Amino acid sequence: MGMSSTAPLIGANTAFPLPRSSLFTSLSRVHSETFSLRCLGGRMEHNSNGAKIKSTTLHHLYEKHKQSPYYDNLCRPVSDLLPFIASGIRGVTTNPAIFERAISSSNAYDHQLRELIKAGKDIESAYWELVVKDIQDTCKLLETIYSEKDGDDGHVSIAVSPKLANDTKRTIEAAKWLHKMVGCPSVYIKIPATDESIISMKEVISLGISVNATVIFGLPKYEAVADAYLDGLEACGITDLSKVSSAAAFYISRVDVTLDKKLEQIGTPEALDLKGKGGIAQAVLVYQLFQKKFSGPRWERLEKRGAKKQRLMWASTNVKNPTYPDTFYVDALIGPDTISTLQVQALKTFIDHGTLSRSLDTKVSGAQDIYNAIEKLGIDWSAVGSQLEHEVLDSFTKSFDNVLKFMQKKAKLNDFIGI
């Protein structure tokens, strides 16, 4: 894998701001003035210094509905996350595409990369050093959230190489290595839910390493992921399981993109009426399965050892069809014991005009009807899931390769390394 066991050397301080709008105050004012968010209604609260802080829709989402909002993005300086955290963000998720954008669109990583190259690191080892540094720094920013709720939130995810998706043994080794490299209890090691990597999850969890299972597109795959978590907890030699945590990232809008194309091809009034309904319907059903998996005698035995539920994490919540409401997926999937991952656009629109109401389990029978109706039209849910799994993993692999190529090209420039 070309991984180095050496700790990251130097952090860069060059500013590379996250996408912003007037929604967020400039970072320079966060500590000196009242933090304000323009688009928010709600009450004012006080921080430890007595300054008023606006309570946002995201705070209400967590306090009233026990759903944790996580920000799906990261770049340097990670201190740019402070306004997001103040607005109610409780964790951060990353993937290879996020780091490709961050590293290839900024000079904020140049100083550390230069030092790593001078120290003789190969390009892939240097990549992991850059990424691990960002994850460590973000874990520190979220440390208070992690500590105040006994590790329920404050998590930051880092993905194993997408090239290992079909290699059980190497995924286990990569997860152990990353966990050791980051060295923070709040880190989630992100592992894709391929058949081979689901086997890895059980082993990794049994070692007491927290896992963010990802790239989950169907009910059978989710059930296999949940079983791997339960099996891993049962095999774990740790007496107190409370420090082992997990989330299962179930994708939403990508499902509708694929289903809608198939429904349009069928073209009947019945088929067209089902557009935009499949992704949410499947998510509602997976939440029912989640509730069954984390209840009953088996779960109760683990709970007595301090075990925490593997929360469902809604991924791909951005609306990709412009004819759908811009808070369509976030609004429809609000319920306890879940995480909603938000890219900047979904975050802004939900804070501005999202609907704060428990919605995830209000129309279960209707969701089952929709799921069955799509199946009766000849659409194979398993085939859709397999197609999307391959597409996403191929995309992540491309991002991973692209960022390594970018770093290699930059490292060869004479003026970059100071020759």
Mean pLDDT of the region 326-343: 97
How high is the pLDDT of residue 54?
A: 78
Domains of the chain: 52-253+290-356+390-417 (3.20.20.70)
Burial per residue of 329-346, b for 16 or more beta-carbon CB atoms within 10 angstroms, e otherwise:
bbbbbbbebbbbbbbbeb
In tens, the pLDDT along 109-119 reads 999 999 999 99
Phi, psi of 384 (to 5 degrees): -60, -45
How high is the pLDDT of residue 53?
A: 60
Burial per residue of 40-59, b for 16 or more beta-carbon CB atoms within 10 angstroms, e otherwise:
beeeeeeeeeeeebbbbbbb
Of 178, 312, 151, nearest in space to 247 by CA: 312
Distance CA 146, CA 186 (A): 7
How high is the pLDDT of residue 6?
A: 36
Beta bridge partners of 341: 70
In tens, the pLDDT along 81-105 reads 999 999 999 999 999 999 999 999 9
- Please check the confidence at residue 419 and state whether its pLDDT lies above 60: no
* % the chain with pLDDT above 70: 87
Binning pLDDT at 50, 70 and 90, where does residue 415 land? confident
In tens, the pLDDT along 115-166 reads 999 999 999 999 999 999 999 999 999 999 999 988 999 999 999 999 999 9
Neighbours of 222 (CB within 10 A): 26
- Please check the confidence at residue 349 and state whether its pLDDT lies above 60: yes
Q: Angle at CA 20, nearest 5°, toward 328 and 191?
A: 60
The catalytic residues are 190
In tens, the pLDDT along 289-308 reads 999 999 999 999 999 999 99
In tens, the pLDDT along 9-54 reads 223 333 323 333 333 333 333 333 333 333 223 333 445 444 446 7
Give the pair of three-digit tokens for residue 116: 């790593």
Mean pLDDT of the region 313-332: 96
Distance CA 360, CA 240 (A): 31
Please compute, for residue 41, the number of CA atoms within 13 A of its CA located in the half-sphere on the CB side: 6
Q: What is the pTM of this model?
A: 0.88
How high is the pLDDT of residue 152?
A: 95
3-state secondary structure 290-358: HHHHCCCHHHHHHHCCCCCCCEEEEECCCCCCCCCCCCHHHHHCCCCCEEEEECHHHHHHHHHHCCCCC
Binning pLDDT at 50, 70 and 90, where does residue 168 land? very high
